[in-house]
Each structure stands twice: as structure tokens, then as C-alpha cells.
Chains A and B, each alone.
Chain A
Amino acid sequence: MQVPILKQGGVLIATIQAALSDADLLELRTALVQQVVRYRSTGVIVDVTAMDVMDSFASRTLLEISHMIRLRGAPTVIVGIQPEVAFAMVQLGLTLEDIPTALDLEEGLAYLQQKSRNIN
């Protein structure tokens, strides 16, 4: 299950469309980091609306994606965490620490726009 990555201006948008295996998540990590470099992206959005479960491996991989991309100077926003998934994550002890999250794609894009405006 490959995750499509769309380029919209300086932002990359990865939309997870079904449950992902661990290998799929690692593939997404590699693809995103490569494309951030290739397109000199200024921000990344990962839309997890369709993710059935956010367990420790998925959380760790999203954290790694965010940290790697931050080292390239770009922020990553996670959008679309479903309420029941959030409920399970907190009980499990997963908080995604310092990764910004937003309600949906629109809010995620607004967050990135505001952030780049603050820099310029």
C-alpha cells in the first residue's frame, strides 16, 4: 500500500489511504525525506484520517519523519487523527510530543502558511 504524496506549492501532502504495515510506514518515511530534498519543500503534511490504529511503531515513525524533515528546515504537521485513535494513543502513552497537529488538511495548510509568514 503506497502512500501518494502530492506537491502543492512548497508543501508536500502525504495522504494515508488505508491501514499501513510497518514496511509501508518506513517506505513513506524514505519517500517523504527524499522528496523534501528534491523539491526543497518548506513544509509537510501527513494526513492520517484513514489510519485505523496509531500504535507505538506508527507514532515512532511519524516522530522520525518529523525530526528528519525538521533537520532540513521544514515543519511537519499531522492532520486528521480520529477521536477514537487519539483516545487509544493517550491511553497507550503516545502523545507525538512536539509534532504540530491539526484537525484536517485545511487547518494544516493554514498552520504552515502562518508559520512561513512569521519567518518572512
Chain B
Amino acid sequence: MAADTQILITSDKDVVTARQQGRAMALQTGFSASEATLIATAISELARNIVSYANQGSVTLKPVHGTNGASGLTIVASDSGPGIADVNLALRDGYSSSGGLGLGLPGVRRLMDEFDIASGAGSGTTVTITKWLP
């Protein structure tokens, strides 16, 4: 099993690196090309949020095994930026604080099987997402 990989995110170029490594690890874990693209897309959204809102942070890719013998891939996107004051609002479709399409976080949640966000004003943001092999 592949080891955890951490990618530091400091610029838009790192967004591309993170999603490419995420795709490679997804394929290695046994996901189809289509599922690997879903995972790469989710990573791209989360890594961009780091660059846009926190300037820097990290994306960690972790191959995981569930209690029922399932395998999957967990991605942790973490920063110590300004945080999200209203997490429920940020998870609403169409809401954007940056003039974007407002599909980032709610979209990521739709792409993945598990989605967890921990954030608060001033305390940074950590988004943890998991996709299980079907």
C-alpha cells in the first residue's frame, strides 16, 4: 500500500501538482479512470480554496482501509488561513464569497462519499474527504 503523500500548496501551480498526484494515487488504489477524475476534480477545488483564501496550506493523500475491508482514498486539505465564519452557508449551492460559481464545497461534497469540514473564523480550515472503492 502506498504511503501518505503531503503536497504543500502555495501557488496555483501546486493545485495542478496536487490533483495530478491525487489522480495517480487513485489509479494506484484501484479506482477507475472516471473515479480518479472525480477525485482529481475534488482535490483541485480544495487546493484552489487554500490558495485563494489562505495563501498556503497542504493537501495530504492517504490510502485507507475501512473496518468492512473496503479500500479507499482520503484527502485532507488543511490551512491556517482566516477560516470560514459560516460553514453552513459555504456549503450551500450557489453561494460564493469570491465571485466564483459557488459550486466549490457543495460540489466537492457531491463528488465524494464522505465529507467533513472543520473551520471557524480565525482558526483555519480542514476539509477531509474520502472516496471508497465500489
Contact = CB atoms under 8 A, between A and B. Distances in A.
**A and B interact:** yes
Interface of A: 19-23, 52-57, 59-60, 82-85, 87-89, 91-94
Contacts of B110: 91-93
Given A52-B19, A56-B107, A92-B103, A22 B41 contact: no
27 contacts: A19-B16, A21-B13, A21-B16, A22-B15, A22-B48, A22-B51, A23-B12, A52-B20, A52-B37, A52-B40, A53-B41, A55-B48, A57-B100, A83-B34, A87-B37, A87-B38, A88-B40, A88-B111, A91-B107, A92-B107, A92-B108, A92-B110, A93-B93, A93-B106, A93-B110, A94-B101, A94-B107
Interface in B34-61: 34, 36-38, 40-41, 44-45, 48, 51
A54 B111 CA distance: 13
Interface of B: 11-13, 15-16, 19-20, 23, 33-34, 36-38, 40-41, 44-45, 48, 51, 93, 100-101, 103-104, 106-108, 110-111
Nearest to A83: B34
B12 A91 contact: no
B101 A56 contact: yes
A93 B12 contact: no
Contacts, number: 79
For A57, A83, A85, A87, the residue with the greatest tally of chain B CB atoms inside 10 Å of its CB is A57
A80 to B, nearest CB: 15
B33 A84 contact: yes
A53 B101 contact: no
Instruction: List the 10 closest pairs (A to B, CB-CB), nearest first.
Output: A92-B107, A22-B12, A84-B37, A84-B34, A55-B44, A88-B41, A21-B12, A93-B103, A56-B101, A88-B38
